[in-house]
Structure 1
Amino acid sequence: MRPLISYILLFAVLLPTLSPWGTIAYYHANKDYIAKVLCENRSRPELHCDGTCYLAKKLKAQQDKQDKETTERVQNTPSIQLFCESTCLFDFTPVSRFRTVVPFFTYVVAAFSRPLDGLFRPPRL
């Protein structure tokens, strides 16, 4: 059961990557119909288009749709604030002597470096 679920999840993740291949496979399976009915250059057989214009148009439309979805997803992504201004409501510094105030930010400088000095030393002979 686990391998089946893992293959399904892998396929679901790779599906957006494989969608252009589906369009190309559809084109090759229906090449005669596309060349006779859907091709823009069917009235000019000397170009030997054979429906590649239709394929290019479909691939371009897919790429544009994917780019638009990606842009919307990036624009709607919530932002995470990594730094807190000095007027922050929560200050987690245990002792004020470890706090260094910079014009806009408050951060802890080497709060726990002293206890580690006793642990990391060369061995005694």
Structure 2
Amino acid sequence: MKNILFILVIALFLKPILPVVDYVINYEYISKVLCENKDKPKLQCNGKCHLMKELAKAAETENPKSSDKKSFSPIQEVLFFNEVGSYKLVSCGCSKQPKNRSTYLDFYSYLITNSVFHPPTILS
């Protein structure tokens, strides 16, 4: 039972790699027969075009596009709308703060010291 389960898990993980393995195994056949650019040797395609198509098919089958998902629509619905009027602030001219302060009050002071505080050492 464990062996069958192990083989199934390995097969699921290796499924996206199968087109590459098939390309490596059948390289001569793909490059000579299935290559779309075999008449253009300057491109040096060697069947890579076929490999890309197979990888695209494998990715599409792995992640199919579901039709039940909601499609994106650029139309937006307005759920609530409340018109806001413009307001103008009027100064009453009753401000008690002086308009021009010419003196600067500095009540902050500090002491510059060059010594560094060390906690006391305990001798035992």
How does the TM-score come out when normalised to structure 2?
Answer: 0.49
How does the TM-score come out when normalised to structure 1?
Answer: 0.49
Q: Which has the higher strand share?
A: 1
Identify the structure with bigger relative contact order (alpha carbons < 8 Å, sequence gap 6+). 2
Q: Which has the higher helix share?
A: 1
